[in-house]
Amino acid sequence: MTEDGRLLRGERTRTAVLDRALPLATTAGLDGLSLGQLADTLGISKSGLFAHWRSKEALQLAVIDHARQQWTDEVIRPGMAAPRGVRRLWAVHDRRLSFYESVRLPGGCFFANANFEYNARPGVIRDRLAAELTDWMTFLTRLATDAIDVGDLRPGTDAAGLAYETESLGVCAVMQAPVLGPVTFRHARHALHEHLRVLATDPTILTELT
């Protein structure tokens, strides 16, 4: 956008629209996202959106890409800065919780909301969301496997199971926090910490983590 706030054309307009669409889709739902409302809050006309995306569905898919990009930049990449092994697994878990604990996004996690919304609605969007979830679980499993490989966790540890538990604790903390309060984040941290302590070859590794 220009210095006076007006939108420029082309790519910059597109990212500006997606920046605005993501929080709207997070709170109102990816399907409940209203193109009219989106255009109004951007100060552009509804029909102008169709110059950039051929349909609402195309825009929704772009929102998903945008959300993944943001998630990668703000959560995964910083978490990956931690040393390999169980420290990195913990860093990703902790970053995710911190991200939502500091109320960065109203409406909770976009991907969790969208997955729930489209669980029973076949179509292109559901397939895309399913692929994102599969990728994410593969990533978590790889973190767990690495923690086993470097010797932080006992050989024979169920990497996929550990990834599943990490994901469950994280998602539910974000989901239930608006109702049950920030205690859910403490529970999510404590539960995984306890479990890792049981699985660790040297429990003292865990004591130095938050």
Partner DNA sequence: TTTATTTACGAACGGTCGGTCGTTTTGTAG
Partner DNA sequence: CTACAAAACGACCGACCGTTCGTAAATAAA
In the complex, which residues of this chain contact a second copy (CB under 8 A)?
Answer: 26-29, 31-32, 106-108, 112-113, 115-117, 119-121, 129-130, 133-134, 137, 158, 160-161, 164-165, 167-169, 171-173, 175-176, 178-180, 183-184, 187-188, 190-191, 194-195, 198
Nearer to a second copy, 13 or 109 (CB): 109
Nearer to a second copy, 94 or 167 (CB): 167
182 binds, among DNA, a second copy, none (CB under 5 to 8 A by kind): none
> 80 is written with which tokens?
């990956």
54 binds, among DNA, a second copy, none (CB under 5 to 8 A by kind): DNA
Nearer to a second copy, 13 or 30 (CB): 30
Q: What sections of the chain are H helices per DSSP?
A: 11-28, 35-42, 56-71, 77-80, 86-101, 110-117, 124-149, 159-180, 183-199, 204-207
Token pair 């913990």 is at which residue?
A: 90
Tally Cβ neighbours within 10 Å of residue 169: 21
Nearer to DNA, 29 or 78 (CB): 29
Output the smallest distance, CB 47 to a second copy, in A: 25
Burial (CB count <10 Å: 0-12, 13-18, 19+), residue 52 = middle
CA 155 to chain centre: 29
Output the smallest distance, CB 132 to DNA, in A: 22
Fill in the DSSP letter of residue 152.
Answer: S
61 binds, among DNA, a second copy, none (CB under 5 to 8 A by kind): none
156 binds, among DNA, a second copy, none (CB under 5 to 8 A by kind): none
Q: What is the 3-state secondary structure (H, E, C) of 90-130?
A: HHHHHHHHHHHHCCCCCCCCHHHHHHHHCCCCCCHHHHHHH
Do residues 85 and 157 lie in contact, with contact meaning Cβ atoms separated by under 8 Å? no
51 binds, among a second copy, DNA, none (CB under 5 to 8 A by kind): DNA
Give the residues lining the site for DNA (CB under 7 A): 7-10, 13, 33-37, 39, 43-48, 50-52, 54-57
